[in-house]
Chains A and B, each alone.
Chain A
């Protein structure tokens, strides 16, 4: 008997909800407070409970609560439908004729290239003039191209030089642009003069490292290429990128894919070599790694190492931009704050 009464109440309320116009939020709110509020029939029923015999009370209470829950759900559903509808209507109203002509009134100020692009372009222009072609490679690489073919075998300590992000055992994010040396040499025989800019990834994230950054790689393979050519090329590059007075210095180093290998320092662009904070008083700034292509790498790529020699170099582009523009922190490059971006013309 009571059960039926509650059922009837729920049904009555639900039909009221259904009758509410899809857009009348106030009406829905009104019905909600009438049905569930302090003076609603449901609340009154709860008040009547004390008149019931003790053993019936819990069951009755449970029924009333269930009814309340049902109604609350019904209201919630109606409310969300209503919101959806209202948004839909709003969007429908805002609809424009997308075929109308373009608005061609633009700001008078020109946009700005990202500083990494700026230095990349500058470097590419320098090397294009020397006959280098720009060839890019994939960011997701195989272990073979990124390490194996470059004379960095699996489990070799040289792998510790670069913390690698792996996707599968044999597929990884390239840690340097050097795999493109292999890709280029496998594709064509000398003469090769190649430049490869691109994103590289290393599992390294702290104040002075970013897990993604940019490198540019250079490779020359031909007859009669010597270490003197490497020095001459890099000196030309340094003078063009910084200024005529810039000097280069080679320091012995090690990379598995070049032999001999060198670190290349440039005279500090800030103090001109007299020593300052930027160069820690040395007058020199370490800018890139380079060397003569290891004959093992040439052979891995099917190039006759008795006939040809080559050199390769690679550098971090953010580092170049930081030196050139005095940017103190690598993180700034990827925050892309417009106040940062607009400084690069």
Chain B
């Protein structure tokens, strides 16, 4: 919300400097986003009267002027030809600055001394809105009554500040100069001065003879007021009004239109002015548009409407999009003779929806969306008529059409005084509470423990006790709050959930093994998933689509962490980062139905990626380390995931449950992601995995009897998995504590297509020392099993 300081001063005395004012506003909850001094960079420019103009002795196009600037007479050479002796003009003296960045110094022009410069409107960065004639080519000629030798800034109306104030959405009443002035008054501890709104009407006329109004959809238009002005003289509005409109970003158009804009800004009530002769049968109807009905508003585009859009219409046609923009067919023109002013309250949600749907936003729709107040409609319409009279634009027709389903009575709110302390934790004296609320316009009495407040009509946001308490503390000051640390609260235990603790523990292991954590976006593009070369019916393609994504690569909720990981690895490789061990914990999303009918399953997933110094068995080591930490055994089988190298990949199996897969990235996939270096990845459904975590710790007695170790080397076919040999050895042998691989040999010493596998076995019994005999028996059993299952030969 842009506000001009001088405009605010119409309503409240501001006796502090601009910085203090801003600080005080911030202190009561109004963030001042920007302060602009309109006369910024105009320095040492004064008004001066031209005493004499002579030809330049050496230049045809230059003249030499003698200028009275009050305390001295300056000789200035200029090329302008729109000046005459006696004119009062802006004079940039020696050492002056202009908004275009120029600094003026004295010097000689074609041999003649010149002690400054006469300025045009353009050089002062002003337009006709600031000063009549500012846009003419040549020097700005000031009014002949302008005092001589004074600073130019007040003369052209730029000795003023524009404050851009952030208004929170609960305070639509502050979307106006008046509303903001109320808060300025509160901030400065002043009283707001609301000038009396007075105007006279021609008693022999009656608005009802000019127009009748029918509101068909009262739910969308709870209040509709209309008033009229006849014998209108359309003309430019006066400079003071144009200056104010310009300062807040509006252009002067014509008096009647400017009045509606002025009132919008000053009172926060959007208004509209119709040309009476364009309203067919003198009848205004507020109704929903017919499906397919068309309208051309001021922006001159054609819009096709539907039944949800509210229009202002006459008997024949729509003449305006209610609350959004007037129709081109009924606007104010040069020859407009009678004007009908509209001040209404339209339904906030409906305006918001319609303006969104049609793609038109205006100052007016923006105000309606934030919410206007029926009480203000009457005030605003009266103000418009007052300005009409003040600007001598026409004759006010007697009467006002007022169709309203809303009462604008002040509401009462009562609550216990003790609630203030209960919520804030500090005591505020009753007298202070009353005086704070009074400055806010809230009439307050406190009897015993009961606070009774009368809420002003314009404060729709004050609904219950906590709203009032907030008003009290924001004015009283948050610096009165004394910190306490929950000393009257119950004792609670706190801490993390088991799942979070498990994730933390897993992260610790990963960090210990040299892996760093990454975080990627929760959404991805389908093209990133396509790179995994999955079959079309892969469940990873059950994607949840975002309706309004910011781009293809952010358009689906991720069904896998792999694309994110591979993109990060690819980026690191392309930046010549030689190696990386990375992991990510994140949610992947699985819909129960598409389109979504309920919330999808969000599965906690762990993804690991290595390149540079990683290999398959390192990755396996990382996974094993995690599983061991939670008392789980890793089982692997060759994976059929298409994005993994078929010979260097495995499914991660815990208790016959596949919880993930890992391995080398398939060369085709590596190419798709632009991976130059061999990359290893793992992805684990952490929710599925954690179900297998062995959470119970039960002490087992430490073995008392010694262990016996034996080695065994067998030759088997090359494609026999060592893991299978180990598993087979363990079967049915209870005293076998551990089996370890210590060598795999392929080469000259064994037949081609075969390998020699050397295993070491550790036996131990819980209740006795094992004899050689028992060991030999068991070793034979093991060899026998390996022979029958794998055709193993003792080496």
State yes or no: do A and B come from one complex.
yes
Q: How many residues of B contact A (CB 8 A)?
A: 118
Choose from B171, B478, B616 the contact partner of A262 (Cβ within 8 Å): B478
Question: Can you name the residue of chain A whose Cβ is closest to the Cβ of B421?
Answer: A226
Interface stretch (choices A3-11, A20-28, A55-63, A90-98):
A90-98
**Are A193 and B492 interface neighbours, CB within 8 A?**
yes
Given that A155-B352, A167-B546, A260-B469 are contacting pairs, would A250 and B521 also be in contact in the complex, using a CB cutoff of 8 Å?
A: no
Given that A98-B649, A155-B352 are contacting pairs, would A229 and B544 also be in contact in the complex, using a CB cutoff of 8 Å?
A: no
Residues of A146-196 contacting chain B, CB below 8 A: 154-158, 160-161, 165-168, 171, 173, 190-193
Residues of A259-304 contacting chain B, CB below 8 A: 259-262, 292, 294-295
Q: Which residues of A contact B467 (CB under 8 A)?
A: 259
**Are A95 and B494 interface neighbours, CB within 8 A?**
no
Choose from A101, A133, A158, A336 the contact partner of B520 (Cβ within 8 Å): A336
Classify the secondary structure of B's interface with A: mixed
Given that A102-B624, A166-B547 are contacting pairs, would A128 and B494 also be in contact in the complex, using a CB cutoff of 8 Å?
A: yes
Given that A106-B513, A229-B485 are contacting pairs, would A203 and B580 also be in contact in the complex, using a CB cutoff of 8 Å?
A: no
Given that A167-B547, A334-B521 are contacting pairs, would A229 and B484 also be in contact in the complex, using a CB cutoff of 8 Å?
A: yes
Is residue B422 within 8 Å, beta carbon to beta carbon, of the partner chain?
yes
Question: Can you name the residue of chain A whose Cβ is closest to the Cβ of B668?
Answer: A87
Question: Can you name the residue of chain B whose Cβ is closest to the Cβ of A225?
Answer: B489
Interface stretch (choices A30-38, A40-48, A65-73, A135-143):
A135-143
Residues of B423-447 contacting chain A, CB below 8 A: 423-426
The total of interchain contacts (Cβ-Cβ below 8 angstroms) comes to: 326
Q: In the complex, A94→B648 CA distance in Å?
A: 8
Is residue B455 within 8 Å, beta carbon to beta carbon, of the partner chain?
no
Choose from B422, B492, B515, B587 the contact partner of A191 (Cβ within 8 Å): B492
**Are B512 and A224 interface neighbours, CB within 8 A?**
no
Q: In the complex, A32→B686 CA distance in Å?
A: 53
Q: Which residues of A contact B571 (CB under 8 A)?
A: 335-337
**Are B516 and A111 interface neighbours, CB within 8 A?**
yes
Given that A212-B523, A335-B571 are contacting pairs, would A98 and B29 also be in contact in the complex, using a CB cutoff of 8 Å?
A: no
**Are A203 and B497 interface neighbours, CB within 8 A?**
no
Given that A103-B618, A106-B618, A158-B169 are contacting pairs, would A199 and B522 also be in contact in the complex, using a CB cutoff of 8 Å?
A: yes
Is residue A201 within 8 Å, beta carbon to beta carbon, of the partner chain?
yes
Choose from A96, A132, A160, A228 the contact partner of B616 (Cβ within 8 Å): A96
Residues of A208-225 contacting chain B, CB below 8 A: 211-212, 220, 222-225
Q: In the complex, A333→B647 CA distance in Å?
A: 35
Interface stretch (choices B191-199, B299-307, B593-601, B770-778):
B593-601
Residues of B516-558 contacting chain A, CB below 8 A: 516-523, 544-550, 554, 557
Is residue A19 within 8 Å, beta carbon to beta carbon, of the partner chain?
no
Q: Which residues of B contact A244 (CB under 8 A)?
A: none
User: In the assembled complex, how far is the CB of residue A181 from the closest CB belonging to chain B, in whole angstroms?
Assistant: 16
Q: In the complex, A131→B507 CA distance in Å?
A: 24
Is residue A252 within 8 Å, beta carbon to beta carbon, of the partner chain?
yes
Is residue B63 within 8 Å, beta carbon to beta carbon, of the partner chain?
no
Contact with A along B351-380 (1 / 0, CB 8 A): 011000000000000000111000000000
Residues of B632-657 contacting chain A, CB below 8 A: 636, 638, 645-650
Q: Which residues of A contact B744 (CB under 8 A)?
A: 97, 100
**Are B602 and A138 interface neighbours, CB within 8 A?**
yes
**Are B169 and A160 interface neighbours, CB within 8 A?**
yes
Is residue B170 within 8 Å, beta carbon to beta carbon, of the partner chain?
yes
**Are B494 and A132 interface neighbours, CB within 8 A?**
yes
Q: Which residues of A contact B481 (CB under 8 A)?
A: 227-228, 231, 250
Interface magnitude class on chain A: 35 or more
Residues of A299-344 contacting chain B, CB below 8 A: 309, 333-339, 341-342
**Are A114 and B554 interface neighbours, CB within 8 A?**
no
Q: Which residues of A contact B557 (CB under 8 A)?
A: 140, 167, 173
Contact with B along A111-130 (1 / 0, CB 8 A): 11110110000001001111
Is residue B572 within 8 Å, beta carbon to beta carbon, of the partner chain?
yes
Q: In the complex, A166→B484 CA distance in Å?
A: 41
User: In the assembled complex, how far is the CB of residue B251 from the closest CB belonging to chain A, in whole angstroms?
Assistant: 26
**Are B647 and A94 interface neighbours, CB within 8 A?**
yes
Q: In the complex, A306→B496 CA distance in Å?
A: 30
Q: In the complex, A97→B464 CA distance in Å?
A: 72
**Are B587 and A139 interface neighbours, CB within 8 A?**
yes
User: In the assembled complex, how far is the CB of residue B740 from the closest CB belonging to chain A, in whole angstroms?
Assistant: 8
Choose from A117, A157, A165, A228 the contact partner of B370 (Cβ within 8 Å): A157
User: In the assembled complex, how far is the CB of residue A102 from the closest CB belonging to chain B, in whole angstroms?
Assistant: 3
Q: In the complex, A292→B422 CA distance in Å?
A: 11
**Are A114 and B581 interface neighbours, CB within 8 A?**
no
Is residue B724 within 8 Å, beta carbon to beta carbon, of the partner chain?
yes
Given that A102-B621, A114-B517, A203-B550 are contacting pairs, would A107 and B613 also be in contact in the complex, using a CB cutoff of 8 Å?
A: yes
User: In the assembled complex, how far is the CB of residue B80 from the closest CB belonging to chain A, in whole angstroms?
Assistant: 43
Residues of B470-514 contacting chain A, CB below 8 A: 470, 473-474, 478-479, 481-497, 500, 507, 510-514
Is residue B219 within 8 Å, beta carbon to beta carbon, of the partner chain?
no
User: In the assembled complex, how far is the CB of residue B580 from the closest CB belonging to chain A, in whole angstroms?
Assistant: 5
**Are A87 and B349 interface neighbours, CB within 8 A?**
no
**Are A87 and B667 interface neighbours, CB within 8 A?**
yes
Is residue A109 within 8 Å, beta carbon to beta carbon, of the partner chain?
yes
Given that A92-B647, A97-B721, A131-B492 are contacting pairs, would A227 and B425 also be in contact in the complex, using a CB cutoff of 8 Å?
A: yes
User: In the assembled complex, how far is the CB of residue B666 from the closest CB belonging to chain A, in whole angstroms?
Assistant: 8
**Are A134 and B495 interface neighbours, CB within 8 A?**
yes
Q: Which residues of B contact A2 (CB under 8 A)?
A: none
**Are A124 and B496 interface neighbours, CB within 8 A?**
yes
Is residue B298 within 8 Å, beta carbon to beta carbon, of the partner chain?
no
**Are B478 and A252 interface neighbours, CB within 8 A?**
yes
**Are A260 and B169 interface neighbours, CB within 8 A?**
no
Is residue B658 within 8 Å, beta carbon to beta carbon, of the partner chain?
no
Question: Can you name the residue of chain A whose Cβ is closest to the Cβ of B515?
Answer: A111
Q: Which residues of B contact A233 (CB under 8 A)?
A: 485-486
**Are B548 and A165 interface neighbours, CB within 8 A?**
yes
Is residue A104 within 8 Å, beta carbon to beta carbon, of the partner chain?
yes
Question: Can you name the residue of chain A whose Cβ is closest to the Cβ of B488?
Answer: A224
Q: Which of A99, A167, A228, A233 has the most CB of B within 10 A?
A: A99
Q: Which residues of A contact B422 (CB under 8 A)?
A: 224, 226, 309
**Are A309 and B423 interface neighbours, CB within 8 A?**
yes
Question: Can you name the residue of chain B whose Cβ is closest to the Cβ of A200?
Answer: B522
Q: In the complex, A317→B591 CA distance in Å?
A: 28
Question: Can you name the residue of chain B whose Cβ is closest to the Cβ of A201?
Answer: B522
User: In the assembled complex, how far is the CB of residue A129 from the closest CB belonging to chain B, in whole angstroms?
Assistant: 8
**Are B494 and A232 interface neighbours, CB within 8 A?**
no
User: In the assembled complex, how far is the CB of residue B570 from the closest CB belonging to chain A, in whole angstroms?
Assistant: 11
**Are B478 and A101 interface neighbours, CB within 8 A?**
no
Q: In the complex, A334→B519 CA distance in Å?
A: 6
Q: Which residues of A contact B602 (CB under 8 A)?
A: 138-140
Q: In the complex, A117→B511 CA distance in Å?
A: 13
Q: In the complex, A129→B494 CA distance in Å?
A: 8
Is residue A251 within 8 Å, beta carbon to beta carbon, of the partner chain?
yes
**Are A203 and B647 interface neighbours, CB within 8 A?**
no
Question: Can you name the residue of chain B whose Cβ is closest to the Cβ of A294?
Answer: B466
Q: Which residues of B contact A231 (CB under 8 A)?
A: 481-484
**Are B595 and A253 interface neighbours, CB within 8 A?**
no
User: In the assembled complex, how far is the CB of residue B275 from the closest CB belonging to chain A, in whole angstroms?
Assistant: 32
Q: Which residues of A contact B512 (CB under 8 A)?
A: 110-111
Q: In the complex, A160→B348 CA distance in Å?
A: 14
**Are A336 and B568 interface neighbours, CB within 8 A?**
yes
For the complex of A and B, the 4 pairs showing the least CB-CB separation, nearest first, are A99-B723, A95-B647, A226-B425, A252-B29
A selection of 7 A-B contacts at a CB cut-off of 8 Å is A130-B494, A155-B348, A227-B426, A228-B482, A252-B473, A254-B171, A341-B518
18 additional A-B pairs beyond A102-B617, A128-B494, A171-B596, beta carbons within 8 Å, are: A87-B668, A98-B663, A104-B618, A107-B613, A110-B511, A128-B496, A129-B494, A138-B602, A139-B589, A140-B557, A157-B352, A168-B596, A171-B599, A224-B488, A228-B426, A229-B485, A309-B422, A341-B517
**A residues in contact (CB < 8 Å) with B:** 87, 91-107, 109-114, 116-117, 124, 127-136, 138-142, 154-158, 160-161, 165-168, 171, 173, 190-193, 199, 201, 203, 205, 211-212, 220, 222-229, 231-233, 235-236, 249-254, 256, 259-262, 292, 294-295, 309, 333-339, 341-342
